[in-house]
Amino acid sequence: MSDTLQLDKRQRAMLAEMGVRVWTPIEQAPEIHNAGPSTIQTKKSQTTTAYQAAVNATATVAVKPTDFEVITQTANNLDWLGLREAVTSCQACGLCTSRRNVVFGTGSHVSTPDTKNEIQPVDWLIVGEAPGENEDAEGEPFVGQAGQLLDNMLRAMQLSRTGEFLNAPKPAQSIFVTNVLKCRPPGNRNPAPEEVAQCMPYLERQIALLQPKIILAMGRFAAQALLRNSIDKVEAIPLGKLRGQVHRLGNTPVVVTYHPAYVLRNLPEKAKLWADACLAMATLNTTQL
């Protein structure tokens, strides 16, 4: 005899009313548990988001998946527009209640939702910490003072994240700029570990689709998030010890540097930011030979 709790519709409704969730065991689950990740991609016209579809699909099996597992499973199978849509509608952590805009990221060749769903490998992926007030308001990364410093640095390297270049030929190298967190932590507080964990599958999918030739990780949250599986106890290593060298995320070289906002508060460190950018540029140019 099955030891599964037998509940009728009314009892289930009562439990739901009390906030008690009942997970249906696998034998009783309807057909939908066959819905593999590849079936949960959504088109713009569908009202169900990729994230919600995954939650619905997994809600019918006996083992309750964590939000993290749902997001990872979902993100791993999304194409670029599907990923953008999943990120934009994400409600996996509390930041969704205070954000004004989700900041997916922008780049010189994949910048708008209208961009075709074809993704070309990028040369540079630049990863910051999280949107601040300005980014939250505008839905784009690095639009405040830290962004100005980043843009100045890129200009000095003959790069441009918009693909536009004043009085010069189009930059030869493409860039995508994003953050570890896609939503602003209230009051610009530090990202919480669980927020980073929830958001990482999105960054990982961005990396898988963009196939950057070099990643520049700006600040300790970006460095720790990207190198957590490559360097033992990376969170215990000061950023000053991680910068100035080339790390690896799989086969992709990663250069760590100070966050531009930190540099704005500590101007003598600007030379190190520039040195790290030059190291990244040299690494990229070497791998292209």
**Does residue 179 bind ligand URA (CB under 6 A)?**
yes
Q: Is 201 in the site for ligand URA (CB under 6 A)?
A: no
Residue type, 229: N
d(CA 88, CA 75): 12
**Who's near 161: CB < 8 A, 6+ residues apart?**
106, 107, 108, 126, 150, 151, 154, 175, 176, 177
CB-based contacts of 237: which residues, under 8 Å, 6+ apart? 231
Nearer to ligand URA, 133 or 194 (CB): 133
Q: Does 135 bind ligand URA (CB under 6 A)?
A: yes
Q: Does 128 bind ligand URA (CB under 6 A)?
A: yes
Instruction: Let me know: does 198 contact 67? Beta carbons within 8 Å.
Output: yes
Count of chain residues binding ligand URA (CB under 6 A): 11
Nearest Cα neighbor of 243 from 285, 202, 273 is 273
Least Å from the CB of residue 180 to ligand URA: 8
Count of H-run helices and E-run strands, the chain: 12, 6
136 lies in the binding site for ligand URA (CB under 6 A): no
Between 261 and 273, name the residue whose CB sits nearer to ligand URA: 261
Tell me which of 261, 279, 280, 281 binds ligand URA, using CB under 6 A: 261
Least CB distance to ligand URA at residue 123 (A): 20
Residues that bind ligand URA (CB under 6 A): 128-132, 135, 141-142, 146, 179, 261
